[in-house]
Amino acid sequence: MTATLADVARRAGVSTATVSRVLNGNYPVAGATRERVLDALAELDYVVNGPARALAASSTDVIGVIVNDVSDPFFGIQAGGLQREVAEEDLLAVICNTAGSPSEELKYLSLLLRQRVRGIVLTGGAREDAEHEAATAKLIRQAQAVGTRVVLCGRPAPAGVEAPCVVFDNEAGATALTRHVVEMGHERIGYVAGPRGNTTTTARLAGHRAALREAGIRRAASPIVHGDFSRDSGFDAAMRLSRADGDVTAIIAANDLMALGVMAALRRAGTEVPRQCSVAGFDDLPSASDCAPALTTVRLPLESGARRAGRIATGRDGAEDGDAWLGAELLVRDSVVRPGGRARRAR
């Protein structure tokens, strides 16, 4: 089939050990010998056998990243940042898409575990389900036992697991956002939450409720519907919201993608945004700033958070510094105005 180390060694007239050493450059090899080996390598189009190397050296040069939805920029940005980061260490990131399915998550986790990857980064909210959490915890512990570095990015560590976390302050961000909407004078505020039983959903919802509570807004005036973080679900949610309570003056979505869907739905229903209904999102995706009106949202340092996670996963950053808390920043743009009021230019 392909040339093996032994073939190369034979051709260069050296032992396999020597070839291995010029390949890895971790042991002195005389110039002339190295040249011969290099030539043989090239002549035979040698390609290392990854599994064999991994088996012998018991380590690989790949970092696995588990995401919920590759086509959601929220994850795309994180995956991209992580990739750039680990590439600097000459490692490769492979991204595994669970499509939001807990069982797929477990499947990929164990795939990565058995491939003995160097590190695993779990991104996005985790499912709040004791059974799934326990299963995840077990796999993570096993991974750690074989020396795989596991880091959590944007989700809490499951019970019983000791692992570095990069945490985004979803709750504080959500509180700041809702507080802003309230301060603009809204009293009937619809909320499009993420999928039930998801840690991110819960955190953002908690922040929202806290702001509502502190403003003394009645629950009945602030209907909550659930989406699944996709644009389409935001569209549907807006429909349900306006059908049930035609009188909300603002809709806050748990992420920008859904906010975009909400805006599309309102537009389609002939409701003018923001004059007749304000809209706010969360995440500050690139498209949030160039839609019309520009979306008021909360900025999460997704890219830098993911890079940080990548650095921990590759071992470049120590994990002992404790969790990395990354703050959220309220971004006031044009999609939230006083009820029935006029658009307000940002800045």
Name the binder of 28 from a second copy, DNA, none, CB < 5-8 A by kind.
DNA
Name the binder of 20 from DNA, a second copy, none, CB < 5-8 A by kind.
DNA
Instruction: List, in sequence order, every residue forming a beta bridge with 63; answer none if it has no partner.
Output: 93, 119
Contact indicator for 145, 219 with CB cutoff of 8 Å: no
What is the DSSP secondary structure assignment for residue 229, as one 8-state letter?
Answer: S
Please identify, among the stretches 55-63, 156-164, 235-243, 320-328, the one whose residues bind DNA according to the rule CB under 7 A. Answer: 55-63
Contact indicator for 88, 313 with CB cutoff of 8 Å: no
Q: At closest approach, how far in Å is the CB of 169 from a second copy?
A: 23
The b/e string for 242-264 (b: 16+ C-beta within 10 A; e otherwise) is beeeeebbbbbbbbbbbbbbbbb
The rounded distance, in Å, linking the Cα atoms of 347 and 344 is: 9
- Within residues 28-47, the interface with DNA by CB under 7 A covers 28-30, 32-34, 46
Residue 71 binds DNA (CB under 7 A): no
Closest CB to DNA among 18 and 68?
Answer: 18
φ/ψ (deg, to 5) at 292: -120, 125
Contacts of 33 (CB under 8 A, 6+ apart): 12, 14, 18, 22
Residue 110 binds DNA (CB under 7 A): no
Provide the H-helix boundaries in 25-129. 31-43, 50-57, 73-87, 102-114
Q: At closest approach, how far in Å is the CB of 105 from a second copy?
A: 12
| Site pattern 7..26 for DNA (x: CB under 7 A) | ------xxxxxx-xx-xx-x
Strand pairing class (149-153; 119-123): parallel
- Within residues 167-226, the interface with DNA by CB under 7 A covers none
Closest CB to a second copy among 87 and 159?
Answer: 87
The rounded distance, in Å, linking the Cα atoms of 71 and 217 is: 36
Residues 274, 302, 234, 267: what is their CA dihedral angle, to the nearest 10 degrees? 30
Name the binder of 147 from DNA, a second copy, none, CB < 5-8 A by kind.
a second copy
Q: Which residues are near a second copy by CB under 8 A? A: 1-2, 45, 47-55, 60, 62, 64, 69-73, 75-77, 79-80, 83-84, 87, 92-97, 99, 104, 107-108, 110-111, 113-116, 138, 142, 145-147, 231-232, 235, 260-261, 264-265, 267-268, 286-287, 290-292
Binding test (CB under 7 A) with DNA, winner from 43, 49, 88, 341? 49
What is the DSSP secondary structure assignment for residue 198, as one 8-state letter?
Answer: B
Closest CB to a second copy among 72 and 133?
Answer: 72
Q: At closest approach, how far in Å is the CB of 85 from a second copy?
A: 13
Residue 27 binds DNA (CB under 7 A): yes
Closest CB to DNA among 54 and 269?
Answer: 54
Q: At closest approach, how far in Å is the CB of 115 from a second copy?
A: 4
- The one-letter code for the residue type at 51 is P
Residue 144 binds DNA (CB under 7 A): no
DSSP code per residue over 124-176: SPPB--HHHHHHHHHHHHHHHHTT-EEEEESSPPPTT----EEEE-HHHHHHH
Q: At closest approach, how far in Å is the CB of 117 from a second copy?
A: 9
The rounded distance, in Å, linking the Cα atoms of 213 and 209 is: 6
Q: At closest approach, how far in Å is the CB of 196 from a second copy?
A: 22
φ/ψ (deg, to 5) at 326: -115, 125
Q: At closest approach, how far in Å is the CB of 81 from DNA?
A: 29
The rounded distance, in Å, linking the Cα atoms of 166 and 328 is: 13
Contact indicator for 103, 111 with CB cutoff of 8 Å: no
Q: At closest approach, how far in Å is the CB of 65 from DNA?
A: 25
Q: Which residues bind DNA (CB under 7 A)?
A: 1, 4-6, 13-18, 20-21, 23-24, 26-30, 32-34, 46, 48-49, 52-53, 55-58
